[in-house]
Copies of this chain bind each other. A is one copy, B any other.
Amino acid sequence: MLELIRRDGLARVCCLDTRRGTLETPCLLPVINPKIMTIRPRELFDEFGVEALITNSYIIRKDPALREKALDAGVHDLIDFPGVIMTDSGTFQSYVHGEIDVNNKEIVEFQRDIGADIGTVLDIFTEPSWGKKRTSEAVDVTIERTIEAASLKGEMMLAGVVQGSLYPDLRERCARRLSELDVDVHPIGGVVPLMEKYRFADLVDVIFSSKTGLTPSRPVHLFGAGHPMVFALAVLLGCDMFDSASYAKYARDDRFMFSEGTMHLKDMKRISCQCPYCRGQTIETIGRMSEEERARLIAKHNLHESIKEIENIKRAIHEGNLWELVELRCRSHPELLNGLRRLREHKDYMEKFEPLSRDSPFFYTGPESLDRPAAYRYEKRFFERYEHPGADILVGFEENMRPYSRTYASEMRSVTEKSDAHFLVMSPFGPVPIELDEIYPIAQSLFPQIRDQDTETRTRRLMEEMSHRQKYGMCVIWEGDDTLEILASIALGTSKFDIDRARIRAVADYQFGKGASSVLFDGKVTLVKSKTTEKIRNVYVNGDHVLSMRANDGFFTVRPKGAERLRKGFMPPRLRVIVNKDSAEFNRAGRNVFCGFVIDCDENIRPYDEVLVVDESDNLIAIGRTMMTRAEMLAFKKGLAVKVREGIST
């Protein structure tokens, strides 16, 4: 069973329960060929901390001695590994060598009988060159065999492989059907040829179409992905498990793997790697090694580098800077960059998983950064949810955004307060009205001053789109950095524009949806500001504390009185997580909402959104932040659905 621990969009750190303990994902399962053990499984466990590996049941079964020992003593004894053992079924061998002499039933039973912790269906490897009909038939066979395997698996966890070649509809259909079956892990199969040919844009499409059909509550394994340079991108798209034969295969071919790509020993002029295995080595010392010694050294390097990258990725998920890491990694090879650029085709899907905000600032790394769902979210919500307060003059102001530097904001404010002008920053995210300039990602972003053309074009396009959509008496687009000139260009007057009132309205609509501001602020509004930063801290309406504003991301946390207003103002299930009776009494006491207890949820809820926890009669039970989307809450059997901040006692 899978439990979500931490997430960033589709990327996630999870715990997977197995009968040999809990595996933390993302994780890498080194491949052990039972006949050629470049690094022994026991070394993997002791020296590298590897808790799970994958070996091949087909190879074991084909060799009479191995087969007998495996059936007799179990696969863990056979290869001497105390951790989780996943076995592959022979599908890849049938792809490489053509026909194989075992059927699905036989190989699934064999995996079960030798004590594999996770066994794999004998699926049909759908190749990228295949036509649609052939692929569709292969998908049907794969589904049938998965049904058969599920009936045979016993105590073994079962990996049901998503196939469908490059056809998005077949991938999605296969994934959707497999999600209904009693399967525990979902490898995405048939992708090795794409990775071998560096067809990363196609790989991106395949992962998306598979993910679209899969239930979110099971781990997704990218079958055959063993190069650390692809891990970050794959995790970003929601892959949880990888397996690598490459660390050993590359080593036998004198190739060093790095998260920035591969280097062949013969092209290396120096050993700059400082890993525990390479440190102190030179081209000469390595050159003097025997072939086997060298292969072991390079395999250990490759494994170290791969495990390190998995650790980097986990850390990035925890710290909220996975996008930056992925955009760095994807510059290791132009084809990876091509894969990254393909993400823009999947914005709508990604936005569903995009958190409200992140702990790390939004760092621009290239034109691709503006294809991140964080930018798309802003653009969408600005046009859908933002309403112009009706000032007479609009001044578009182009400024380099800097995190935490409030210079331009205070400049704008001083101008705003002295005139009728309503200020907008012409930013790469789109037009930013002064009321929204403290929310994520606007205030927490940094761009280079020297812009690229894609960013320039986007900035102007969104500005023009706004001019068309919103009605203003006058629109002056001003560019530059000399505030005096702006001041001079605007007739000075007494301010009629209340920036604070405008801010709470704009942020409320942006965060909770159009109409939220009317619901929340109906009455006499009083604001409490921070004495040091002068930022809004608390919002009272008719004396009730309805909202607090967070300094780190500029969004609201909801207080009980605010929650009550939202509940009354919006029909269920808007902004709600509906829990069953068993949960309700705990949540009222301030305890968190867990997955098994959720009846329904607003499907427009995004991770880290503020939510109202209600019972089936729409009584307010608690307020908190959701960790999940609706689909996730309903699919997961365990784990935190809503982090409750405040329970509401009856």
Contacts and interface: CB of A to CB of B under 8 A. Distances in A.
A452 interface: yes
Contacts of A269: 315, 318-319
A93 interface: no
A267 interface: yes
Contacts of A389: none
Contacts of A452: 367, 452-454
Nearest to A448: B338
Nearest to A313: B272
A260 interface: yes
A301 to B, nearest CB: 11
Nearest to A361: B334
Nearest to A449: B338
A84 to B, nearest CB: 21
B304 A274 contact: yes
A225 B389 CA distance: 49
A559 to B, nearest CB: 28
A364 B453 contact: no
Interface string A338-349: 100110000000
A447 interface: yes
A311 B270 CA distance: 8
Interface string A359-398: 1000111110000000000000000000000000000000
Contact of A335 (B268, B314, B446): B446
Contact of A270 (B279, B318, B364): B318
A628 to B, nearest CB: 19
A106 to B, nearest CB: 42
A274 B260 CA distance: 16
Nearest to A318: B269
Interface string A452-467: 1110010000000000
A105 B453 CA distance: 54
Given A338-B448, A338-B449, A457-B453, A366 B331 contact: yes
Interface in A261-317: 263, 267-272, 274-276, 279, 304, 307-308, 311-312, 314-315
Contact of A272 (B274, B275, B276, B315): B315
A359 B269 CA distance: 11
A491 interface: no
Contacts of A272: 308, 311-312, 314-315
A47 to B, nearest CB: 12
Interface in A2-27: none
B365 A337 contact: yes
Contact of A328 (B201, B311, B328, B341): B328
A56 B314 CA distance: 41
Contacts of A457: 453
Given A311-B272, A364-B334, A453-B452, A267 B359 contact: yes
Contact of A334 (B268, B363, B453): B363
What band does the interface of chain A fall in when counting residues whose beta carbon is under 8 Å from B?
35 or more
Given A272-B311, A274-B311, A359-B267, A450 B334 contact: no
Contacts of A140: none
Nearest to A267: B319
A538 interface: no
B201 A450 contact: yes
A314 B447 CA distance: 30
A501 interface: no
Contact of A341 (B275, B450, B454): B450
A40 interface: no
Contacts of A337: 364-366, 448
A332 interface: yes
A327 interface: yes
A333 interface: yes
Contacts of A359: 267
A453 B270 contact: no
A32 to B, nearest CB: 22
A34 to B, nearest CB: 28
Interface string A316-330: 001100000001100
A450 B270 CA distance: 34
A263 B333 CA distance: 26
A446 B334 contact: yes
B315 A268 contact: yes
Given A453-B454, A457-B453, A448 B319 contact: no
Interface string A479-520: 000000000000000000000000000000000000000000
From A327, A332, A363, name the one whose CB has the most chain B CB atoms within 10 angstroms. Answer: A363
Contacts of A274: 275, 304, 307-308, 311
Given A260-B328, A267-B359, A201 B449 contact: yes
From A260, A279, A447, A450, name the one whose CB has the most chain B CB atoms within 10 angstroms. Answer: A450
B331 A331 contact: yes
Given A333-B363, A452-B453, 18 more contacts: A267-B359, A270-B315, A270-B318, A271-B315, A276-B279, A328-B331, A328-B332, A331-B365, A331-B366, A334-B363, A334-B447, A338-B448, A338-B450, A341-B448, A341-B450, A366-B367, A452-B452, A452-B454
22 contacts: A201-B449, A201-B450, A269-B318, A270-B315, A272-B314, A274-B304, A274-B311, A276-B279, A327-B331, A328-B328, A331-B331, A331-B366, A333-B446, A334-B446, A337-B365, A341-B448, A341-B450, A367-B453, A452-B453, A453-B453, A453-B454, A453-B457
